[in-house]
Chain A
């Protein structure tokens, strides 16, 4: 079974803190994604990566950055957390373009 693991299930951070969300997949997938999910807005793509050290902006990249130094690990970085970044963050991976994505369990981030 494919396993996508996010480092934290729940996280509470203060405004202005630098926040790291980690995601690891164990199936040698090429593609990895970070989404945030908010009520009424669905899953919105923040960043995605199709190879090590490669990254592409999604639909809402402002305030975020990412890092993919190893194929299995994709990190989302909030450089200076703000209250409007309070959300559920979901990491996903897929083998190749056009194949199904597998999701991690999600990280509920609260910025106070």
Chain B
């Protein structure tokens, strides 16, 4: 089992709709979870992080964490064409040796 798994997509969502991105992880000791956005040809940039079970909202973005089921998701409300990018889930694993593992990313396209 991979340490961090995401559906690679592509995921197409109409403009104005909700985009839902999912990520599962294998290390039960993981305590923090990150969502990065990567535009084509650019480096990843952090958009959300979450540490506690439940929801965390920041503008149009909501991160959801369920540690019992070992998944974290990202919802994007009122999707805009500028949200078209690859979204990467990142999980620090192997506590004590600082490893940071990324999923393969989900490519999201917002259709005008």
Residues on A close to B: CB < 8 A? 30-31, 33, 35, 40-43, 45, 48, 50, 56, 58-59, 90, 92, 94, 97-106
Contacts and interface: CB of A to CB of B under 8 A. Distances in A.
Q: Is the interface of A mostly helix, strand, loop or mixed?
A: strand
Nearest to B41: A106
Contact of B104 (A30, A42, A48, A98): A42
B99 A41 contact: no
B interface, how many residues as a size bin? 20 to 34
A97 B93 CA distance: 9
Contact of A45 (B34, B46, B96, B99): B99
B54 interface: no
Contact of B102 (A35, A56, A105): A35
Interface in B45-104: 45-46, 49, 88, 90, 92, 95-104
A50 B45 contact: no
Nearest to A56: B97
A40 B104 contact: yes
Contact of B44 (A59, A97, A103): A103
Contacts of A102: 46
